[in-house]
Amino acid sequence: MIDGKLLAQEIKTEIAKTVASLIDNGKNAPHLAVVIAGEDGASLTYVESIKRNTKEVGILCSEYQFPASISEKELLEAIDFINNDDEIDGCIVQLPLPKHIDTQKVVRKINPKKDVDCFHPENMGKLVLGEDTFLPATPHAVMELLKRYEIETAGRNCVVVGRSNIVGKPLALLLVQNTPHADATVTICHSKTQNLQKVCAQADILLVAIGKPEFITAEYVKEGAVVIDVGIHRIEDKTTEKGYRICGDVKFNEVSKKCKAITPVPGGVGSVTMACLLKNTLKAYQQNIDH
């Protein structure tokens, strides 16, 4: 079992120590701005979690919450304000945005130096080129899990299922980089992939970000493979007290019997994602020459 909770705690302890020593030396704490427009349930839960986690490590968090009716112009002005505030090191804009707002316009407005989610095309471009940049939190979390659990990726056949801009695509890019803890042979699959089961069953490391509860069953997995499950879902389950349970994109009970290592859901990638966002905020602070 790959324990994401434990790893997240390790990373957060490292960050908390660094922040405490900055404050001991009379410096300001790192400062993250979170922009949210509308009432998307998953976004609100995520923002609550950001607030809890930033507090835990001593990072300041300012929430800029707007109604879904906010105009694109007003939202762009809010981001401008954050960009121009030297006391703010990092900025994230919670997606999805209300339908009348052009997401790409908003993402492009964020100062790339504060773009701790790595959504801005400049940072995505750097990622493609293998240049130093913020790594998107979820793919970064997966790479941290592989590294800290000493799972060899060099030359291994890695199959990434999902090609979204926030998970599948950047994850595949990180795995294929010519760097230590990467150097994999990577296949990217998506909804048009033919013989998905056969392709997945050839993977030494199967990384799943498909957004479909328990889609990947034992037939998709090679005996002894490593399985990384990025998916996260709340599904109805009347046998539980709460009436629901949390699961991933992988059918954990059957796949875990067959593979060498697996990330659980919850307690896997998701826990580390938050720690990686905090890491990026600290990196933005350290690069902010105005301190």
* 264: contact with ligand NDP by CB under 6 A: no
Cα–Cα distances in angstroms (integers) from residue 102 to residues 19, 109, 116, 127, 190, in the given order: 36, 11, 20, 23, 25
Residues in region 220-249 near ligand NDP by CB under 6 A: 230-233, 249
* 162: contact with ligand NDP by CB under 6 A: yes
Select the residue interacting with ligand NDP from 95, 193, 218, 254 (CB under 6 A): 193
Select the residue interacting with ligand NDP from 21, 28, 71, 191 (CB under 6 A): 191
CA distance 48 to 55: 11
Helix (H) / strand (E) containing 245: strand 244-247
* 136: contact with ligand NDP by CB under 6 A: no
Q: Closest residue (Cβ) to ligand NDP?
A: 164
98 Cβ partners below 8 Å, 6+ apart? 37, 38, 68, 69, 70
Select the residue interacting with ligand NDP from 62, 83, 164, 185 (CB under 6 A): 164
Residues in region 21-60 near ligand NDP by CB under 6 A: none
Minimum separation from the CB atom of position 25 to ligand NDP (A): 33
Cα–Cα distances in angstroms (integers) from residue 182 to residues 36, 47, 58, 259, in the given order: 34, 31, 32, 21
* 146: contact with ligand NDP by CB under 6 A: no
Query: How many Å is the maximal CA-CA distance in the chain?
Result: 59
Select the residue interacting with ligand NDP from 58, 130, 211, 266 (CB under 6 A): 211
Stretch of 51-59, 102-110, 190-198, 279-287 lying at the interface with ligand NDP (CB under 6 A): 190-198
* 167: contact with ligand NDP by CB under 6 A: yes
Minimum separation from the CB atom of position 234 to ligand NDP (A): 10
Q: How many residues bind ligand NDP (CB under 6 A)?
A: 26
In the chain, the amino acid numbered 51 is K
CA distance 217 to 32: 39
For ligand NDP, the closer CB: 16 or 166? 166
Question: With contact defined as beta carbons under 8 Å apart, do 41 and 263 qualify?
Answer: no
* 210: contact with ligand NDP by CB under 6 A: yes
Select the residue interacting with ligand NDP from 148, 212, 245, 258 (CB under 6 A): 212
Helix segments in the chain, DSSP class H: 4-24, 41-57, 72-84, 103-109, 121-129, 137-148, 168-176, 196-200, 252-258, 269-287
For ligand NDP, the closer CB: 79 or 277? 277
CA distance 98 to 88: 25
Helix segments in 58-167, DSSP class H: 72-84, 103-109, 121-129, 137-148
* 275: contact with ligand NDP by CB under 6 A: no
Angle, alpha carbons 124-279-94 (nearest 5°): 60
For ligand NDP, the closer CB: 225 or 275? 275
Return residues touching ligand NDP (CB under 6 A). 138, 161-164, 166-168, 189-193, 196, 209-212, 230-233, 249, 269-270, 273
